Amino acid sequence: MRLKAGERWEYQPPAGHDVAWIYPYKGSLRAQDQPVALKGLAVFEEGQSALRFEARGDTGFVLGTAVKHPHDLVLGYYSVHTSAQALEAGEAEIRRIGERLRASGRL
């Protein structure tokens, strides 16, 4: 989405979507009357209310909404999994692939 300086925009998430996030990649943006850091991911409070935005300059951003995941999630350094075991297995596989790429001179 792109907004011009001073432009305001309101977005109503689809029915059932109760989580939302935004990533501004250009310009300056306020969301729900709060500044959002450039190239910083902002996550909104859970709910189904309309989201309000205001561009402080020519601004570009990505907005996402979804239905909240029904399970607790385990956060890794750069990944998300459904259990500590799945996180460990996923990170081990990434290390294995990295070692193989380094050994072949491709990384």
Q: What are the tens digits of pLDDT across the range 51-99?
A: 999 999 899 999 999 998 888 889 887 788 889 999 999 999 999 999 9
Q: In the chain, what are the domain boundaries?
A: 2-66, 74-103
How many other CB atoms are there within 10 angstroms of residue 66's CB atom? 13
pLDDT value at residue 70: 85
Q: Which CATH number applies to 2-66?
A: 2.60.120.10
Mean pLDDT of the chain, nearest integer: 93
Query: pTM here?
Result: 0.68
How many other CB atoms are there within 10 angstroms of residue 27's CB atom? 17
Residue 35 has pLDDT above 90, yes or no: yes
Of 43 and 72, which is predicted with more confidence?
A: 43
pLDDT value at residue 73: 86
pLDDT value at residue 80: 83
58 vs 7: CA distance, rounded Å: 9
Residue 10 has pLDDT above 90, yes or no: yes
